[in-house]
Structure 1
Amino acid sequence: MDSRADLAALKVGDFSSHLDTLFDMQAPGGRIALKLVKAESAGQSMRAGGAFSLLFVAPAGPWLPQAIYPVEHPALGIIEMFLVPIGPMQGGNGYQAVFA
């Protein structure tokens, strides 16, 4: 069964309880583990619950281009996230997703 998350219903609180846990990103070359290191509110927006930002760290290696990737978490299901590379972080590659 495909457990895709409803992007419009997600709130920062859905992620803040999963800090320092691993998310599984499906990339063109295979799966990559992403560790959620930050989830913070990013002000008001038209979306319910306001805007928020997520920061992930992937293992060091080649950078992936910014794109929409399916990211899976056991408690949240599959989330289609637009991830942007933001530079080296905590010994790995940093990526950000913004929900506005």
Structure 2
Amino acid sequence: MKLLTLEDFVPFVNTTFSAALTAGNTEFVLVEASPLPAPPKAQLMRAPFSLLFRSAAAVLFPQQTYTVRHSVIGEFALFLVPVAQERDGFIYQAVFN
């Protein structure tokens, strides 16, 4: 599988991703894709970036690696961390560095 970059996700902000859970699938909407600062003089395989997803599920999903699917990007593993609670669900972050 190719190394995913920020450019792979930017066109899909405000689109739905599906994550496989033990009890079935749940949907996450990509709400932000943004670059992160790179350490000075670092020789990185890709520029670091962050993704924020919103889930309208009433339950908080634990921090862990999920198998995620998108209709265009395909299937890949993503480590999601819950970072905020909203009135209508939760925000999760994935950091690529």
Which of 30, 35, 40 is residue 34 of structure 2 equivalent to?
40
State the alpha-carbon separation in 2 of the partners of residues 46 and 78 from structure 1: 27
TM-score with structure 2 setting the length: 0.88
- Alignment-mate amino acid for residue 10 of structure 1: L
Residues in 1 aligned to 2:34 and 2:73: alpha-carbon distance in whole angstroms: 17
The structural deviation recorded for 1:60 is 3.4
Q: How far apart are residue 49 of structure 1 and its match? A: 3.1
Deviation at 1:55, TM superposition (A): 0.2
Conserved in 2, the CA contact under 8 Å of 1:22 and 1:35?
Answer: yes
For 1:55, the equivalent position in structure 2 comes to: 52
CA deviation digits over 1:21-49, x for unaligned, max 9?
00001112210010000000012264333
Match of 2:22 in 1: 28
Distance 1:64 1:48 in 2: 30
TM superposition outliers: structure 1 runs of 4+ over 3 Å: none
Shift of 1:96: 0.4
Structure 2: stretches of 5+ with no match in the other structure:
none
Counterpart AA for 1:60 = A
Bigger Rg over Cα = 2
- State which of 53, 63, 66 in structure 2 corresponds to 1:66: 63
What is the CA distance between 1:91 and its match in structure 2?
A: 2.2
Residues of 2 paired with 1:11 and 1:29: CA distance? 30
Structure 1 gap segments, 5+ residues each = none
* 1:90 Cα offset (Å): 6.6
RMSD across aligned positions (CA): 1.6
